Structure 1
Amino acid sequence: MKRFLIIAAAMVFLVIGRPMAQAQDAGISGKWHFVLETPGGDREVDADFTVDADGNVTGKWGNSDVAGTYKDGKLALDFQFTSEEVGATAAMKIDGKLNETAALAGDWAFTEYNGTYKATRPAAAVPPPASDAKPNAPADPHQGGAAI
């Protein structure tokens, strides 16, 4: 009986644990805001990734097409990037991992430049507060305004 309970408990953990592990690592698909640390100051870029079932990453890094992999919480990108600031097109390499705060952090390299980065998901746009004004309401003729 004890053996049966151990096997049953193991099966429960396998069945429940796998979806929970997948939920913890929701992946990197979607929009990201990267801040690259450079000797000349921080450089910011927005990216949008899609990860397929095999862990292949596609999407955009600014205006450049992205290629790479995302497996076991680790990101590895290697794609052609044109920097107008540097005046060069070369391989951009981004390596890092998704941390416990759901941010990406790691290293980047482009031509002779390299450094570290941190990326977070952009905050959702908050709609402006509703105004009490009623722009389409007709003016009150008793208040000296003209009716529409």
Structure 2
Amino acid sequence: MRTRGTILLANIITGLALGFTVTNIGFGDYAELNRMFTFQDLRMFFSFAGAVGIIVCVFALLRVRRTPGRIHAGVIPGAVLFGTGWAISGGCPAIPIVQVASGYLPALVTLVGVAVGIGLCRWANARYFHLDRGSCGL
């Protein structure tokens, strides 16, 4: 039987391995991400494609099946905001953590932006949209 300590240790080790990998392939480097978003270097896109290919194979091996459903009302505007924020800041919510751990302290501004954005999403959702509770992330 797994204990909480064992699960926590496994999560820490997995997180460190992911952070190490993400840093070494360049996802923590703002200049590298900028080159990806401006189509100057396709290496990062190939990294994404490789990750998608791996997960497709894993899902096939595990026989994971999902039936497509109705698209949640917040997906399209959320995706636009997420992509815009990523292009401006050079990081999705996980990347600024890697950047701060690597010594790039301006990424703290991105983390504050993520927290403010989640707060604004929850406020707007409660006041205007009334979508399900999980629609604002974290």
TM class by smaller structure = under 0.3
Q: If the length of structure 1 is used for normalisation, what is the TM-score?
A: 0.22
Q: Which has the higher strand share?
A: 1
Larger % of helix: which? Answer: 2
Q: Indicate the structure (1 or 2) with the bigger Cα radius of gyration.
A: 1
Which TM-score applies when normalising by structure 2?
0.23
